């Protein structure tokens, strides 16, 4: 089968099947072999690996994964792509395509059946509007994963690895860094895709922590506090937490907690590190 990283081959296969891009699925297919190599390298794929690919499209990246991994399961939501995938992946016997919405797939069961419950690697070129929900879903379900290597909008990648005090730092930075170590492996310009998106992209690898970097008594409370602190960025942390419909702490509780952490009461959420948020959550847990 022809390498789909070559734009000519991609155009040929799309014409052969009269494929129409679906805006609702945010479809942009990679047409750059260098980027495909970089994704495969960043994911650190070996012949022992079971790979879950989310959003294979026409199978461009899937071909590379099949060449390098033991087994690949590719989950594709668009039924129109199934005959194309059958064609482009016909030479590989180590891949199966699942026509499903990844958010509805029982991935834990899949890992148990196909990989004996051992950690898997996840690779994805996702529609940008659904990147965060999918990544957070993978984290929150505590699926055994070594790393997630994903193509995202450049600004989302920047937010994932941002530090306290920077303009990109927010709830997403903290959530990702709680579960994983982010590393931007490559920046990808719009001309590497068909059709061309309006924004730059980046390949980011999220290596899951073997042990969480902070200790929290109540994970759910930690994330409620983080969300409340960034819901209205211009507000102080005290007001953010006090105004949150998810939380019931008084202003006095929060001021007292900040004082215990030697932090001023007019501080904003963007100034706190993950460690400080964890300490704050543990302190406030005692007020419940």
CATH code for position 232: 1.10.8.100
- What secondary structure letter does DSSP report for 47? T
| pLDDT value of position 210 | 94
Would 214 be classed as within a structural domain? no
Give the pLDDT confidence score for residue 182 in this predicted structure.
Answer: 98
- Residue 49 to residue 119: CA distance in whole angstroms: 9
Q: How many angstroms separate the CA atoms of 146 and 124, rounded? A: 14
How far are the Cα atoms of 23, 103, 151, 167 from residue 171, in angstroms, in the given order? 28, 21, 20, 12
State how far the Cα of 280 lies from the Cα of 274, in Å rounded to an integer: 10
Count of domains observed in the chain: 2
- Chosen domain end from 158, 174, 208: 208
Q: Identify how many contiguous H helices and E strands the chain contains and give both numbers.
A: 12, 9
Tens digit of pLDDT for each residue in 166-198?
999 999 999 999 999 999 999 999 999 888 888
Range of the domain at 246: 219-285
Asked if 164 and 198 sit in the same domain, the reply is: yes
Residue 267 is predicted with a pLDDT of 95
Which residues, at least 6 apart from 62, have a Cβ–Cβ distance to it below 8 Å?
53, 56, 72, 74, 85, 88, 89, 95
Looking at the fold, whether 179 and 44 belong to one and the same domain comes out as yes
End-to-end CA distance of the chain, in Å? 61
pLDDT of residue 24: 63
Decide which of 174, 208, 242 is a domain's last residue.
Answer: 208
| The two structure tokens encoding residue 66 | 């099949």
pLDDT, residue 156, reads 93
Predicted confidence at residue 231, as pLDDT, reads 84
Task: Examine residue 181 and state whether it is found in any structural domain, yes or no.
Answer: yes
Could you tell me if 43 and 163 lie in one domain? yes
- The pLDDT of residue 5: 81
Q: Are 87 and 63 in contact (CB under 8 A)?
A: no
Q: Which residues of the chain have pLDDT under 70?
A: 1, 21-26, 288
pLDDT computed for residue 22 by the predictor: 67
Helix pair 33-42, 60-68: axis angle to 10 deg: 40
pLDDT at 2: 73
Residue 124 lies in a domain: yes
Given 208, 236, 264, the domain boundary residue is 208
């Amino acid at each position: 089968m022809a390498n789909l990283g070559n734009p000519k081959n991609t155009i040929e296969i799309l014409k052969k099947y009269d494929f129409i891009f679906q805006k609702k699925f945010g479809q942009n297919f990679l047409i750059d072999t260098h980027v495909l190599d970089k994704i495969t390298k960043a994911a650190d794929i070996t012949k022992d690996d079971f790979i879950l690919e989310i959003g294979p499209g026409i199978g461009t990246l899937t071909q590379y994964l099949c060449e390098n991994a033991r087994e690949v399961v590719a989950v594709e939501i668009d039924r129109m792509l199934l005959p194309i995938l059958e064609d482009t992946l016909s030479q590989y016997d180590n891949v199966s395509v699942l026509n499903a919405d990844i958010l509805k797939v029982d991935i834990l069961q899949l890992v148990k059946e196909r990989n004996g419950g051992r950690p898997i690697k996840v690779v994805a070129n996702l529609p940008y509007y659904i990147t965060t929900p999918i990544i957070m879903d993978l984290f929150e379900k505590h699926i055994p994963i070594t790393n997630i290597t994903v193509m995202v909008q450049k600004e989302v990648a920047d937010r994932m690895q941002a530090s306290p005090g920077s303009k990109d730092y927010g709830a997403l930075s903290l959530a990702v860094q709680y579960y994983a170590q982010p590393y931007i492996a490559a920046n990808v310009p719009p001309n590497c895709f068909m059709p061309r998106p309006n924004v730059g992209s980046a390949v980011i690898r999220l290596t899951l922590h073997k042990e969480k970097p902070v200790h929290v008594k109540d994970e759910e409370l930690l994330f409620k506090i983080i969300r409340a602190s960034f819901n209205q960025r211009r507000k102080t942390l005290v007001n953010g937490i006090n105004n949150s419909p998810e939380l019931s702490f008084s202003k006095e509780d929060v001021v007292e907690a900040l004082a215990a952490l030697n932090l001023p009461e007019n501080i904003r959420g963007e100034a706190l590190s993950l460690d400080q948020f964890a300490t704050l959550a543990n302190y406030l847990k005692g007020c419940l």
